Amino acid sequence: MYQVFGISKQAYYQRQTASKKKDHDNQLVLEEVARIRKLMPFAGTRKLINYLKLFLTQNNIKMGRDALFNLLRNRGLLIRKTKQFHITTDSKHSFRKSPNLLENLDIQHAEQAFVSDITYIKTDQGHAYLALVTDAYSKKIMGWSFDDNMKVSMVKQALKMAHKNCRFNHKSIIHHSDRGKQYCCPDYTEFANKLGFVMSTTQKSIHTKMLLQKESMEY
């Protein structure tokens, strides 16, 4: 048979030995993964490969993250991520919503219009939020603020930084945002107006923006 496949007898037995060792190593790794997941049931591939480093070295097993991922996938042992919805926009409020000044606007230079938004960020300590103010022309981040809540003070801090970082003396810079209550409440709009910004909000019918982490197999 080995002559039919054009290989030597020695090469055939070497492949047989290598295949048996691989099967043996895979079984050892699966047993160790089972042991780890008894302590940490939701440990995914990235965490597992770190926990397995010492074990792999001690048992002279060569296996990287990709190989571990394929092994777990073939055995149906991947951890399926659940959907997580993080609402950063609450537009169901009675505050005035400014017209959309960016619609059909030809943006021709930097610091003509700023776009403000809040992004959810997951940290080891829990939920956190990042408020950003971005120049619509250059895409440069003009101001930012990071906190564990979405209070008006956070977005005001980001806008204050953006105003301080302006390089040109443009007046009446358009401030565009979604219809979140942080951006529409009088506390914020009055603060922005005093800095010389002209308020603009999106008029889309979507009332809330959800940063959705799609359900997929972790890698």
By CB atoms closer than 10 A (0-12, 13-18, 19+), residue 157 is middle
Read off the pTM. Answer: 0.53
Q: Are 114 and 198 a contacting pair, CB within 8 Å?
A: no
Residue 124 pLDDT > 80, yes or no?
A: no
49 with 130, same domain: the answer is: no
Say if 4 falls within a structural domain. Answer: no
Alpha helix segments (H runs only) across 40-184: 45-51, 53-58, 65-74, 152-164, 181-184
Q: How far apart are CA 194 and CA 191, in angstroms?
A: 5
66 with 132, same domain: the answer is: no
62 with 95, same domain: the answer is: no
**CATH number of the domain enclosing 147:** 3.30.420.10
107 with 56, same domain: the answer is: no
Residue 85 pLDDT > 60, yes or no?
A: no
- pLDDT (0 to 100) of residue 42: 82
The structure tokens listed for 96 are 């005035």
- pLDDT (0 to 100) of residue 41: 85
Say if 18 falls within a structural domain. Answer: yes
State what percent of residues in the chain have pLDDT above 70.
82
Say if 48 falls within a structural domain. Answer: yes
User: How many domains in the chain?
Assistant: 2
Residue 121 pLDDT > 80, yes or no?
A: yes
Q: Max Cα separation, the chain?
A: 87
Average pLDDT (165-175) is 91
Say if 80 falls within a structural domain. Answer: no
Query: Which of 74, 103, 118 is the last residue before a domain boundary?
Result: 74
Between 90 and 56, the more confident residue is: 56
Say if 2 falls within a structural domain. Answer: no
- pLDDT category at 97 given cuts 50, 70, 90 is confident
Report residue 50: phi and psi, to 5°. Answer: -75, -40
114 with 204, same domain: the answer is: yes
- pLDDT (0 to 100) of residue 209: 40
- pLDDT (0 to 100) of residue 212: 31
Residue 3 pLDDT > 70, yes or no?
A: no
- For residue 111, the enclosing domain spans 85-213
